Amino acid sequence: MTWKTYAAVSGATVLAGWIASSPPANTPAPSASAQRRPATATQPAAGSDIEEQAARLQARLRQETEYHAPARNPFRFGAREVRRTDAPERSAAPAPVQPVIPALPPPPPIKLSGIAEDGPADRIERTAVLSVPAGVVLVREGDVVLGQYRVARIEAGAVELADVSGGPAVRLTLRP
């Protein structure tokens, strides 16, 4: 299909949709006799029906429920502590203290972009391509990245960075 044919077909489609969706130009006004007709016993008054529905909805809104604390905390593991205010206090053994797990340091702002291999099969030298905030860096084993991490090992699909200050090692893997 050429661009001229495509433009013509698209324009015709838009024009047809616009014409089909526009309201009719001359809508007949209701007659005066239809406006003056009183509500009869066979037709319920629309105003009273609306008032009944409004009263019913307001009655439902007035039935407010009391707030109850949630039964579980999705952000905390382990058994939850149950507190009952209506039960008398018992002198029981104190609750076991949960150990505090120290927060892990944030991951380094380094991403592994690729790994290049060079050399014969018995002595393969690998170079890692790392993305850091300053740009792209090519590193080999022993190089220091961002002044904080030393490249400890480069494998076929991962790089291990050792923290120079003695922190935990970081392992970066290639994403498929």
pLDDT (0 to 100) of residue 49 = 87
**In angstroms, how far is the first alpha carbon of the chain from the final one?**
39
Higher-confidence residue: 100 or 6? 6
Neighbours of 30 (CB within 10 A): 8
Q: What three-state secondary structure class fits 78?
A: coil
Please report the pLDDT score of residue 63 as a whole number: 64
The whole-angstrom separation of Cα 10 and Cα 8 is: 5
pLDDT of residue 101: 80
Phi, psi (degrees; rounded to nearest 5) at 117: -120, 140
Residue 138's nearest CA partner among 151, 127, 126 is 127
